Chain A
Amino acid sequence: MNTSTAAAPAATGTDGDVLLRAENVVKHFPVLSGKLFRRGDEVVHAVEGVSLEVRRGQTLGLVGETGCGKSTLARCIMRLHNLTSGHIIFDGDDISTLPPRRMRPYRREMQMIFQDPYGSLNPRRRVGSIIGDPFAIHKTATGQERKRRVQEVMELVGLNPEHYNRFPAEFSGGQRQRIGVARALAFRPKLIVCDEPVSALDVSIQAQIINLLADLQGELGLTYIFIAHDLSVVRHVSNTVAVMYLGKITELAPVEQLWGHPRHPYTDALLSAVPLPDPDKSARRERIILAGDVPSPILPPEGCQFHPRCPKARQECVDREPELAPRLGDDRDHLAACHFPVEDGEDISQSRPSLAVKDRIVESGLLGDS
């Protein structure tokens, strides 16, 4: 169980450049049944067989609607959740089943930045001691040495080191997020998972934090997993983007490939829904408006999970689940899980699903029949 190397480096060969690899990660959460404290047989399929790689010094963007499992996946990667099955290989070591004590050295190397800069800082503690926590927990520096290192990292993220003794309430939202970044950086980790790091910030401040993260990546060679629902931010920061829907990756591609040639109808719909801050482009664009809502992850649809909302759905989509593979002659690094991928220049806003699945989409009334 403790063999530290991966069971089998995938057929593509060992790649020294890969910092993190997820292999078939599955995470189910049991659903409490109506009877108090009794677990039913039902589970939430939060993450359902996700495999991906993150290369050193690069940024992987994770996008998808609320409840698609992107945060759960990130937490599985950080081992904040135990996996139901699958493997996480970090820097060549399989960490998926390590007990907490043996996990500790890896924790220094992977850190997380959270969405809410107000909720993730204890309001009663001074900033210096919050940022110094990692040193205290890992017993690596005390007293003056700790203070020196905390002030060093404060300077790194653009905070005034003299504000060491201030409380979080004395900082604005953007500065608080810098505190969160400083805390994550204390040990100079290799991997930082950013879970909606700028969503709670104002536009003008967002740009400050995104620039900071980019600068730090350049200076310290950091690797990021970047989760955000704002797709234009993800496009700006990522090298590769994974689109998730109901716990699975529906499309995975280098960022410009994904925006230039989205293959999965879901990706296409998601991108076309992003509001553009440009009235002319916005007016000329064909918007694909998806009918209905995301189905329940307790009973996900059969076949392709997206078929009940997909404008291109056919019978085959119900019968057989598509695998994540290159489509329409794309390169090996552009994968989509779709039987009927979107061709370049195809406008799926006019597509209508065929066969038995049709009824399930049209029920959405107003949005279907415009």
Chain B
Amino acid sequence: MALLEVDDLRVSFPTPDGVVQAVRGVSWQVDTGQTLGIVGESGSGKSVSTQTIMGLTRGARISGRAVFEGRDLLKLDREELQKIRGAQIGMIFQDPLSSLHPYYRVGWQIVEMIRQHDRDISKAKAHARAVELLRLVGIPQADRRVDDYPHQFSGGMRQRAMIAMAMALNPKVLIADEPTTALDVTVQAQVLQVIRKMQEEFGTAVILITHDLGVIADVADEVEVMYAGAVMEKADLQTTFYAYHHPYTEGLLQSLPAYGGDRDRLRPITGQPPSLINLPSGCPFHPRCPYVMDRCRTEVPPLASVGATAGHLSACWLSHDMPARNELRRKVVGEPLPVQAEA
């Protein structure tokens, strides 16, 4: 049994314009010390799914299960969930400035977090723990900076302070929702290294949500590709990048500048992502798919096992036999699969 297991999660929001189907049947699981990468574009439902299991989506219609250590998080009441949130499952968000309260000192906010879950700890002890945490995430002169206000921190330091806060109670799971998107590449490298180090040291399970395939390649063990609220493909890191099956995964990788050898043209995915109120019939990706067949327009493909790699799932009607799929790829796209570099 996995540490955290999400099963057929569905989330929708009733709005005056219609029901927004943000998440439509998502399943995944993470184990201790493992990193699950969830990748997708805006509106793919990648953030909503994790926010929902943390009880952060108000006014949503929710179904499915999210089992953490034998308990279904979706069935817990507010108080019980509050005990788990922060203490057992930590979260960091994209924008560290709006996640820290501007009126309170950084250290105070970490202390508050610790004392909220552990009433018995003394103020002095909690304060010392805050300093230790800030030092751990690489804040210089942590004993002095602990009394700074968030605006006195740079963007990278704020994000590191957020990680310190999320790790304060040694959570078993860390959900990082676009943790480096607002940061410069140099700072991004620092933050990713901190997350990796934390994971090595404490065996935390990490769920990393991002739109950046480069970040995924850097840290993930397993990858789930989402589109229009549903999982398109799921596989281990190597398979996702070198032996993918789903045309959407292919499109994402192809549209990156680093992938195409041709300097002049990129290969974008044509068209626009669909509206989550009026989803296309059949496969949600069919209006943009270069391989579209008649069947794709009417029947929704199930997430099914493809190829020879265990645990490689793809929601696509194309041949599940990888050599046949690659042959088709050569015909339609005219390029061989990216070759895995020799070790």
| Chain A residues engaging chain B, CB cutoff 8 angstroms | 65-66, 172-175, 202-208, 210-211, 214, 229, 231-233, 235-236, 269-270, 272-282, 284, 287, 289-290, 292-294, 363-367, 370
Contacts and interface: CB of A to CB of B under 8 A. Distances in A.
In the A-B complex, the 4 residue pairs with the closest CB atoms: A275-B214, A207-B268, A236-B257, A366-B138
26 contacts: A65-B184, A65-B185, A173-B42, A203-B213, A203-B256, A204-B255, A207-B269, A210-B257, A211-B266, A229-B184, A232-B256, A235-B257, A270-B185, A270-B186, A274-B214, A275-B212, A276-B258, A277-B214, A277-B253, A287-B189, A289-B190, A290-B189, A293-B154, A363-B140, A364-B138, A365-B140
A1 B267 CA distance: 49
B251 interface: yes
Contacts, number: 142
Interface in B248-291: 251-253, 255-259, 263-270, 272-273
Nearest to B338: A278
Given A202-B42, A278-B241, A289-B189, A366 B257 contact: no
B46 to A, nearest CB: 12
Contacts of A208: 268, 270
Given A231-B185, A274-B214, A275-B217, A214 B341 contact: no
A315 B46 CA distance: 50
Given A214-B264, A232-B256, A277-B259, A289 B193 contact: yes
The CB with the most chain A CB atoms within 10 A, among B252, B258, B341, is that of B258
A205 B186 contact: no
Nearest to B153: A293
Nearest to A274: B185
Contacts of B139: 365
Contacts of B190: 289-290, 367
A290 B189 CA distance: 9
Contacts of A275: 185, 188, 192, 212, 214-215, 217-218
A278 B189 contact: no
Given A363-B140, A364-B140, A366-B194, A211 B241 contact: no
Contacts of B238: 279
Given A203-B256, A204-B41, A367-B193, A211 B217 contact: no
Contacts of A280: 340-341, 343
A203 B211 contact: yes
A175 B189 CA distance: 32
Contacts of A365: 135, 138-140, 142
Given A203-B255, A204-B252, A229-B184, A277 B217 contact: yes
Contacts of B212: 275
B74 to A, nearest CB: 29
Contact of B341 (A203, A206, A284, A364): A284
A366 B135 contact: yes
The CB with the most chain A CB atoms within 10 A, among B185, B186, B341, is that of B186
Given A203-B255, A367-B138, A66 B41 contact: no
A233 B257 contact: yes
Contacts of B218: 275-276, 279, 282
